[in-house]
Chains A and B, each alone.
Chain A
């Protein structure tokens, strides 16, 4: 089973700043299988990035994903007030079918 470890656990930044979130896999994964989600309180997760770097429909271009092998990054170039939320990485595997990281909380400084 692939384990995803996200860091930091909490990131405190101000609007307008750049956010860099990390996701490390316990074994090498295909970039094709790596996704990022945003979740706000009381809401369902929202797909941001799939295939490690492709933005989902309607996602602003300030969100970008990169990485390969075991290290992946979600970058938010200039934080907007609505970007403060919890972010999860996710990988498609064989068993279990999907594994999620524990999340990074992005909070307003």
Chain B
């Protein structure tokens, strides 16, 4: 069974940093591209970042480019999102999602990030 489990969310002040993790199991992680997607009441579902199976190809949404960094460790079956210079509008539930063909097929349960002063 495919499982994706996010962790690392929390409450922090604007300008702070946070690293999210996503632990994958039930599939050969090293052969799949992965994504981070977030969901907030105000903006709905928003794709943030993509990383290829080898980690050599990376894309970001304009809203997080230069502030967020996606990475992966295939030996640990883990995906990461380093988030810097956080803003109030970054508050959301953050999901990792496996990329399959052209649509994410499996998603984790999400981790909540709240940025507030």
Contacts and interface: CB of A to CB of B under 8 A. Distances in A.
A54 B108 CA distance: 22
Interface string A82-106: 0000001010100111111111000
For chain B, what secondary structure do more than half of its interface residues adopt (helix, strand, loop), or is it mixed? strand
A37 B103 CA distance: 10
A35 interface: yes
Nearest to B50: A97
Interface in B59-110: 59, 61-62, 95, 100-110
A103 B44 CA distance: 8
Contact of A98 (B37, B62, B107, B110): B37
Given A47-B103, A47-B106, 9 more contacts: A44-B108, A46-B107, A50-B100, A50-B101, A90-B103, A92-B102, A95-B62, A97-B35, A100-B46
List the 6 shortest-distance A-B pairs measured between CB atoms, nearest first: A35-B103, A44-B107, A98-B47, A100-B45, A92-B102, A50-B103
Interface of A: 32-33, 35, 43-47, 50-51, 56, 88, 90, 92, 95-103
A99 B37 CA distance: 10
Interface in B10-53: 35, 37, 44-47, 50
Contacts of B108: 44
A54 B58 CA distance: 28
A32 B62 contact: no
Contacts of A100: 44-47
B95 A44 contact: yes
A92 B45 CA distance: 14
A103 B41 CA distance: 12
B61 A96 contact: yes
A30 to B, nearest CB: 9
A33 B62 CA distance: 21
Contacts of B35: 97-98
